Structure 1
Amino acid sequence: MNNKPLFYPTNTEDYLNQFVDKETISNWANPTMSLAVKQRLINVPADKRIKSREAVKRREAARMLYRLYLQL
């Protein structure tokens, strides 16, 4: 098990500015979303859209969970 602590990024914009629709992410979710990008649980897609208002597809959720599992 990886005992490396997770730290929320102090400047969320560093991670969220790469998305063209970053303004759709709720303010309360910014720290967690930036941590997910930092830990590479979320990829930056080719169209650079986070699509935060859309449901996550099954394959996307499976990919995020698998990446999280690999970090344990």
Structure 2
Amino acid sequence: MQYLIDHKRKFIHRTTYANDKCNFHITEVGNREFTQDMAYMKRLKLEKGYQQCEYCSILVEKPSEI
């Protein structure tokens, strides 16, 4: 998966689902980064206080079996 890191606001966006609600477009291009490195994103969250964007970091659940 591809992710967009907003270094100005310290948010990690999932590029597939990023949209206008995320407001990543207000961050200058120089403060954005694309990555697929999960270990790097984990370090950003644990060491630097980055957060997953609530609008585009969708958790996919299995439908319940009936």
- Does the TM-score normalized on the shorter chain lie above 0.5? no
- Report the structure, 1 or 2, having the larger strand content: 2
TM-score by length of 1: 0.27
TM-score by length of 2: 0.29
- Report the structure, 1 or 2, having the larger helix content: 1
